[in-house]
Structure 1
Amino acid sequence: MKIDVVLVNAFTAEGKGGNPAGVVLNADPLSDQQKLAIAQKVGYSETAFVTQDKDADFHVSFFTTTAEVDFCGHATLATFATLYHNGLITHGSYKQKTKAGLLTVVVEENGRIVMQQTLPKYLGTFDYATIAPLIGIEEVQLATTQLPIEIVSTGLTDVIVPVPHGALERIQIDEAELIDFCKKHDLVGIHAFELDSERDDFNASCRNFAPLFGIAEESATGSASGALACYLTKHIDRSTHNRFLFEQGRAMNCASHIAAMVESQDHSITQVWVGGFAKLIGVKEIELSLT
C-alpha cells in the first residue's frame, strides 16, 4: 500500500521557519498501528490523520513517532492548511473531532488558520529546586522570575517554566531525567519561556521539550502556546481580551510565530484560540505493509 503524506511547515514566519508536520487525508482505512508506522517513517514530531466523522466536519488523530497524542496544535494548523490548499474547504468555520474534544477551526480569508483549544486546566505547581536540574538552570536563577512553575493544559499537559531573560538559550535538558519525570507526573513535556519586555513585536520567546514522545525539541507548539497564554492571563495580565504573539524555534535556527488569544469573563477564561500561517513543502510517498 502506498500512502501520500503532505509535508507542511506550520506557524511560519513570513513563509520561513515553522514546525514540520505530516498530513494524511482520507485515512479512514488505516489502523492505529498503521498510522504509527507512517508517523515513524515520516519522522516528524507529529503526523495528522484525517477521517470522516458524523459529529464533525473532520475527525483528526495525531501520532508522534512513539505514540498517539490527544491533540497537536501545529499539526491541526497543517491539516487545515492542506485541506484549504487542496480546495477541500474554503475560508470559514469548521469542527474537528479530536481526543481532546470537539473543537472549532477557522480559516480566515488571508489563509491564516485559527484553532480553538480546550479551556485551561491548572493541575499543580513544582518548586524551582525540582525543575532546575531538569533544564540545567540554577534554582536561584529560576527564582528571580518570581513566577510559578505550573502544569497547564489546553489539550495537553505541559509544565510552563518561566526563565529569566537571557537564560532561555542556555537551557540544557537532561532527557533521561525529564522522561522519567513526565512518566511519573503524567506530563507531555516542558514549555519554557522568557518574557520579551524589551521588544514590541513578541510577548515571549519559548522552547518546548517532550523527549517522552520522541521530541527532543520542537520549533512551534500550538497546544503549549495556548497554555502559556492562559498562564500569562492568570499571573500577569487579567484583561478580559488578551492577544499574544510568541516566538519559538530560535535556538533551532527555525524561528516560528504563534498567535494566541484568550477571552475572559469574571476572572474566568471563556475562550482560547491559537493561530498562524502554514506552508506546504512537499509530498512524501510511504510504502506501507498490508500485514
Structure 2
Amino acid sequence: MTEVLRYAAFTADGTGGNPAGVVLDATGLTEDQMLALAAEVGYSETAFVLPGSGDSHPIRYFSPRAEVAFCGHATIATAVALADRDGCGPLRFDTPAGPVAVLTEATTTGVTATLTSPPASSRPATAAEIDALLAPFGWRREQLDETWPVHVAFAGNAHPVLAVAARETLADFDYDFDALAAVMADAGWATVHVFRQRGPAEFDVRNAFPPGGVREDPATGAAAAAFGGYLRTLGRLTVGNRVVLHQGEDMGQPSRLVVAPDPDSDGVQVTGTGAPIPA
C-alpha cells in the first residue's frame, strides 16, 4: 500500500497554503499508477520521490490530469516532509525540468524551505497571445496596468504574466474554463499568473490552472519563480532584494511566497513554510 502524505505549502502564519500530495517512496510505481494516485488525492499536484542516493532525490509531479515538469508548491511540501522525517538541511531534487536545490530550516514558525528553480527567463507576449489570454477572462486591454508589460515567463514551465490596473479586477477573477484551457494547451502554458502591485516589494497574485483541472491555485511556486524571472528581466528585482507574493487570499486560503534572484545561477529562489494537513 503506497503511503500518501498531505502537506500544505506556503502557509501564511500557520494557515492556508496550497495542499499537495507527497509520496516519499514511489519505488516501482508506473506512470499510470502515479497519475491514478494523483487523481485519487485530488490536489492540483502530487509529488513522487523515486530512489536516489544521499540527499539527491529523483522526483516526478502529477496533476489529476497529467504529468507536470516542475511544481513549486509540491517541491516545498516534499522538502518539508523529508525534513520532518530526516531533519533539516540541503536537498537536491532531480526533476524533469532539471535539478532543483532546496534548503530546509527549522524556524520559530515551523519548517521553511527555499527552492532554487531551473533557469528563469521572460519574453514579451505577442499581440495575438495577449488577445487570446484576455478573451476567456472577458477583459479589455484598458483593464491592464500598462506600466507592467505582458510577458510569457519561464522557470521550468511557461507562465503568461498579466498585471491588472485595479484590485477589483483581481478580486473578480473569473474566466471561461474550457476556452482558457484550449488557449493554454495550444501554447503549452502551465498557469496564467495575474497580479497587482500592493507595495514597493509586495504583490497580490492569482493563478489560473486549467491544465491541471483546477480553476485556481492558492499558491503556485513554479509561477512565483517564473514571476521572479520576469521581474529580473525588467530590472525590478536584483540580487540582494526580494519580493513577497500574497496569493490565495481571495479564495480563503492565504498563502505567502518570498521570491529572490539566486546569486549563483539564472534560477530564482522561492521560500515558504509547510506543514502536514491534519487528517
Normalising by structure 2, we get a TM-score of 0.91
2:157 alignment counterpart: 156
Letter in 2 for 1:148: P
Q: 2:211 & 2:123 partners in 1: Cα distance? A: 19
2:147 alignment counterpart: 146
Label 1:172 to 1:280 Cα distance change in 2 as closer, same or farther (>3 A). same
Give the number of aligned pairs. Answer: 273
Alignment map for 1:1-291 (pairs within 5 Å): 2-53=1-52, 57-86=56-85, 88=86, 90-110=87-107, 111-127=111-127, 128-142=130-144, 144-166=145-167, 167-197=169-199, 203-235=202-234, 237=236, 239-263=238-262, 270-282=266-278
| Deviation for aligned residue 1:206 | 0.5
Q: 2:159 & 2:192 partners in 1: Cα distance? A: 6
Q: 2:186 & 2:235 partners in 1: Cα distance? A: 29
Letter in 2 for 1:99: P
| Offset from partner CA, 1:211-255 (integer Å, 9 cap, x none) | 122121010000100111221222252533320110001121111
Matched position secondary structure for 1:230: helix
Across the aligned residues of Structure 1 and Structure 2, the Cα RMSD in angstroms comes to 1.9
Label 1:130 to 1:33 Cα distance change in 2 as closer, same or farther (>3 A). closer
Label 1:271 to 1:69 Cα distance change in 2 as closer, same or farther (>3 A). closer
Label 1:235 to 1:121 Cα distance change in 2 as closer, same or farther (>3 A). closer
Residues 3-12 or 114-123, more deviating: 114-123
Q: 1:251 & 1:236 partners in 2: Cα distance? A: 29
Structure 1 runs not aligned, ≥5 long: 284-291
Structure 2 runs not aligned, ≥5 long: none
Label 1:187 to 1:55 Cα distance change in 2 as closer, same or farther (>3 A). farther
| Deviation for aligned residue 1:54 | 5.0
Contact conserved, 2:47 with 2:78, CA < 8 A, in 1?
Answer: yes
Matched position secondary structure for 1:137: coil
Letter in 1 for 2:174: Q
Contact conserved, 1:56 with 1:97, CA < 8 A, in 2?
Answer: no
Contact conserved, 2:44 with 2:64, CA < 8 A, in 1?
Answer: yes
Q: 1:124 & 1:235 partners in 2: Cα distance? A: 10
Normalising by structure 1, we get a TM-score of 0.88
Contact conserved, 1:136 with 1:171, CA < 8 A, in 2?
Answer: no
Letter in 1 for 2:233: K
Q: 1:216 & 1:274 partners in 2: Cα distance? A: 23
Label 1:119 to 1:154 Cα distance change in 2 as closer, same or farther (>3 A). same
